[in-house]
Amino acid sequence: MREINKIIIHCSATIEGQDFDANDIDKWHKEKGWTGIGYHKVIRLNGEVQNGRAITEIGAHALGHNDDSIGIVYIGGLDEERSPKDTRTQEQLIVMRNLCVELLNEFDSITEIKGHNELPNVKKACPCFDVSDWLEATQLKDVLDDRRKRKAD
């Protein structure tokens, strides 16, 4: 099993309210010439979590960060004019936190949760919300801080 150190959150860059799923993203990524969906988990508008690429496989979602990360994508991220917008539904908000907690419980090596746009050399709005603020609001920042502190000791 590969060592997983971080979770990277993405949006599908689709218009608010338009529901897509892992099969749609798999098709889009294959159309780009990839072997298939690059994300490991997909969060649909209704909060359903679908599996994408197996977590044991290296993702294709964040250039230079795929080897040691899990990619989560939520459906949405754009308003009607295709401008960046936090379009997460109430169900997506709840499930995104729960999924991160599950992954943190499964992989004690994870010490970071980042938005795609927080990575070096990324010039995208994705995931169209401030992940740092979200981590603070959901108390996941405290969990990550404690985990990093324990690893440093």
| Residues 35, 146: Cα–Cα separation, whole Å | 37
Task: Give domain status of residue 26, yes or no.
Answer: yes
The CATH number of whichever domain residue 49 belongs to comes to 3.40.80.10
- Would 50 be classed as within a structural domain? yes
From the list 61, 85, 116, 128, the catalytic residue is 116
**Does the active-site annotation cover 61?**
no
**Range of 40's domain?**
6-148
Active-site choice (11, 29, 39, 100): 39
Q: Residue 151: what pLDDT?
A: 86
The confidence score (pLDDT) of residue 1 equals: 75
> SS3 for 73?
strand
pLDDT computed for residue 51 by the predictor: 98
Q: Which residue(s) pair with 70 in the sheet?
A: 7
Instruction: With respect to residue 69, please indicate whether it lies within any of the assigned structural domains.
Output: yes
Residue 5, token pair as written in the block = 């150190």
Active-site pick, 10, 29, 65, 85: 10
39 is catalytic: yes
Residue 153 forms part of a structural domain: no
> Taking the mean position of all CA atoms in its chain, how far away is CA 40?
8
Number of domains in the chain: 1
In one-letter notation, the amino acid at residue 51 is: N
Cα–Cα distance, 107 to 91 (Å, whole number): 24
Please identify every stretch of the chain with a pLDDT value under 50, giving residue numbers as ranges. none
**Catalytic-residue membership of 65:** no
pLDDT at residue 113 in the model: 98
The reply to whether the predicted model has a pTM over 0.75 is yes
